[in-house]
Amino acid sequence: MKRILPWLVVSMLVLIVAITQAQESLQRTLTRTEDPVVVKAEAIAPMQGQAVTALAVLRWQDGKFEPIPAQVDERTTAGEFCFEHGPKAGKFVGNGSFDGDDELVFMAADAGDQAPAEAAIPAGAEKAAELLIRDPVSGGQVWAYLMAFAGEPPRSPKDYVSHETKEGRNWVLAENYQFAELDGEAYFDRLMLRGQDGRMSGNLADQIKGRTNIKMMGGLISARIMDRTTRSDLTAWKDGPVRVLHRMEGYVKEGPLKIGGSGGANNVFYRNFFYTPITIELPFKPSTLFSDFSMYYVIDWNPATEGFRYFDSMNPAGVILDGRMDPEEKNQDYKSPRTYWAVTGPQGNMLVRMTAPEKWAKIVTLQLYYVDDDQVKDDPDNFPGQRQTGYFIHGLYNLDKGKYSYTLYYHAPVGPLDPERAQPILDILDHPLQVQASAWK
């Protein structure tokens, strides 16, 4: 008996350690909090064909399942999003079945631990799939469960973002920001950010500006194409708990002349960022006619941003926005390509990225456009002067004719922002989360 006892104790200790390790391996280890999880129906084979209205996403936390904010955005057979509101929503209708390119959407921060094998499927659930979400950089993991219910699925009461139309503007009211653009315009002129004190700021933007400069005959003839020449109508939208979808259809208007574009673009709004795709079409190679052809996209901030610190991937030390061009601001690196730019202050944070098409490689570079001078006019303006931060798109002059699409991403993280804290935001595009689906129960 005395000889057996030590081996029994050792065996029990090994068993306890093994159980502890197994339990620890099932816990959430993902630390990324800014990412949405977007999964196509075709990647979740066990749940294809289920009615969209029967689906819910749940997490395992504190020993039980609970619903998290989630939505399914159906797509048409042509690949267009299906919308629920607006004058043209009837053109984009789904079949009500979770299939093909339909997208399941939720926030990675809301997912939880892995449910133990012995956990019972929730009452009313008829089918379930386990979604393993993994960070390809750190290996961190988190789990969520897509389930189909016979009756009314359980829903989270949280709603991170909403659409609202008031006083001639289309608003998006999100957890970390508020955004608005005048009905029929292709630029926004209202942008509020959640500050470091947790409260929403007042309006910080004069407006977003996208402008093109053209020169001919060695500069003897020059012209400037203004953003207000291009118009855009909100023709359909969807307001979900995780993201809002805006269907925008653009056109060019000069006096009584209105020239419509083909198709449209979808602006997408999450609780902590939004993005806007843009397409330009060059009917000919610019260098065959122009001596210069350049473009810039900036946010022109208003004086409420006093004290904002600007920085980017080439100027990490940063400079202060105060309406005066100080030597430090003039001596920034303006020419090198940059992956992002950002502003930060007590009023809130904004980090902006721009993705360029592959055809721009070695031809077009995203340089710095920066003016901080309240005495320099840039009409039309809502506030005099310029506090402009953004991208100067260098090299368009050398492109071939054709259609080019790119996307601007506007992130509004909460809390102090610096180059180190920018990395998790950059990882959303640079190292996207990986999702693996498998049948559960």
pLDDT reported for residue 184: 86
* CA pair distance 332, 345, nearest whole angstrom: 20
Residue 370 one-letter amino acid: Y
pLDDT reported for residue 290: 84
Span 389-419, pLDDT tens digits: 999 999 988 999 988 899 999 999 998 899 9
pLDDT reported for residue 57: 98
Residue 17 has pLDDT above 50, yes or no: no
* CA pair distance 191, 350, nearest whole angstrom: 10
φ and ψ of 97, to 5 deg: -110, 140
Q: Per-residue confidence at 181, pLDDT binned at 50, 70, 90?
A: very high
Residue 143 makes CB contacts below 8 A (sequence gap 6+) with 28, 59, 60, 111, 112, 113, 114, 115, 130, 131, 132, 133
Task: From 69, 60, 132, 431, select the one nearest 272 (Cα to Cα).
Answer: 69
Is 321 in contact with 205 (CB distance < 8 Å)?
Answer: no
* Domain range summary for the chain, segments of one domain joined by +: 16-157, 161-429
Residue 219 has pLDDT above 70, yes or no: no
What stretch of H or E contains 71? strand 70-73
What value does the mean pLDDT of the chain take?
Answer: 89
Q: Which CATH number applies to 161-429: 2.70.98, 2.30.30, 1.10.3110, 3.40.50?
A: 2.70.98
Span 19-31, pLDDT tens digits: 444 444 489 999 9
Q: Per-residue confidence at 251, pLDDT binned at 50, 70, 90?
A: low
Task: From 109, 114, 107, select the one nearest 131 (Cα to Cα).
Answer: 114
